[in-house]
Amino acid sequence: MKIYKWFDIDFTGTEMISFVGGGGKTTSIFKLAKELKNMNKKVLIATSTAIYYPDEGEYDELIINDSIDICNMNKIKKGSITVIGRKISKENKLLGLSKEVIDEIYNLRIFDYVLVEADGSKRKSIKSPAEHEPVIPINTDKVVGVIGLDCIGKKINEKNVHRPELFCNITNSKIEEIIDEEKVFRLIIHDKGLFKNTPEECKKYIVLNKIECEEIQKVSSGIIELLIKSEFNVRGIITSSIIRERYDEVKIKKVVK
């Protein structure tokens, strides 16, 4: 199954999709971008935080600039992926633009799709956002919340959770307790949790990633059941193993009334 089908991509206009959470954001963004490129679309990958410097084979154009260069952007061809960042850090990270600049680029309608990594997780599979996070551009059409379920059964601490103290506050947990489906559910639905700072009109999607065994598949089913019972307003819930491209395992369940 193609990733673009997960998110009800609109092929009649332009869209901005922001990705938050942890455990597969960057991989999801670049896989989606490649599919859209293969459909002759002009795709921009941006970050409002930071991402690791991409490999050359993952993009066609790279822009390092903290201002908008309309002339050069207009020269970018259809069927391409452009990555943009403000500068490169000493840690070889591509530092992001402000959400206002990303909004401005989007409003120019130069690109068919703008995909934004709007959250940082320090490569942890699960996180709670700090006061300033996530940084979602106001014109975002869709927000995709990603959680890597390889966190299940692990302890709540600095090794396994980004911002564990905040995670405990949101999920009513304690440091060193075990992460289970109930805690993941609480993180998703809390107004300061996974979808914090999401613009009101945005469509929300959940990706429960890193489903690598039958036991974790059962956990994901339990999380989905809790979400359905809670009537949490989400457009789609996807279970996946993005890295292994096990798209035959993906299940989409509509939870919107």
How far is the C-alpha of 38 from the C-alpha of 36, rounded, in Å? Answer: 5
The answer to the question of residue 161 being in a domain is yes
How far is the C-alpha of 187 from the C-alpha of 134, rounded, in Å? Answer: 14
Question: Which of residues 203 and 68 earns the better pLDDT score?
Answer: 203
* Long-range CB contacts for residues 52-60, cutoff 8 Å, separation at least 24: 52/26, 52/92, 52/93, 52/94, 53/88, 53/92, 53/93, 53/94, 54/30, 54/83, 54/94, 58/30, 58/34, 58/83, 59/83
Strand 252-253 versus strand 236-239 pairing type: antiparallel
Question: Which of residues 253 and 112 earns the better pLDDT score?
Answer: 112
Residue pair 146/25 in contact (Cβ under 8 Å)? The answer is: yes
Provide, rounded to the nearest whole percent, the portion of the chain with pLDDT above 70: 93
Per-residue CA distances from 150 to 37, 52, 125 (Å): 30, 21, 7
The answer to the question of residue 2 being in a domain is no
Is the pLDDT assigned to residue 251 strictly greater than 60?
no
pLDDT at 246: 57
The answer to the question of residue 1 being in a domain is no
The answer to the question of residue 66 being in a domain is yes
Confidence label for 240 from pLDDT (cuts 50, 70 and 90): confident
Give the tens place of pLDDT for each residue, 9-63: 989 999 999 999 999 999 999 999 999 999 999 999 999 999 999 998 999 999 9
- Work out the burial of residue 147: count CB atoms within 10 Å of its CB; fewer than 13 is exposed, 13-18 middle, 19 or more buried: buried
The answer to the question of residue 7 being in a domain is no
The answer to the question of residue 5 being in a domain is no
Give the tens place of pLDDT for each residue, 99-158: 999 999 999 999 999 999 999 999 999 999 999 999 999 999 999 999 999 999 999 999
Cis ω before 137 (30° cut-off from 0) = no
What mean pLDDT comes out for the span 82-102? 94
The answer to the question of residue 116 being in a domain is yes
Dihedral-angle region of residue 146 (phi above 0 means left; psi in -120 to 50 means alpha; beta otherwise) = beta
pLDDT at 256: 46
Confidence label for 69 from pLDDT (cuts 50, 70 and 90): confident
Is the pLDDT assigned to residue 248 strictly greater than 80?
no
The answer to the question of residue 232 being in a domain is yes
Is the pLDDT assigned to residue 257 strictly greater than 80?
no
Expressed as residue numbers, the domain containing 219 is: 14-253
Angle, vertex CA 39, rays to CA 254 and CA 201, nearest 5: 40
- Any idea what the CATH number is for the domain that residue 57 is in? 3.40.50
pLDDT at 247: 45
HEC readout, 133-191: CCCCCCCCCEEEEEEEHHHCCCECCCCCEECHHHHHHHHCCCCCCECCHHHHHHHHHCC
Mean pLDDT of the chain: 92
Q: Considering the entire predicted model, what is its pTM?
A: 0.93
Confidence label for 6 from pLDDT (cuts 50, 70 and 90): confident
How far is the C-alpha of 227 from the C-alpha of 189, rounded, in Å? Answer: 8
Q: How many domains does the chain fold into?
A: 1
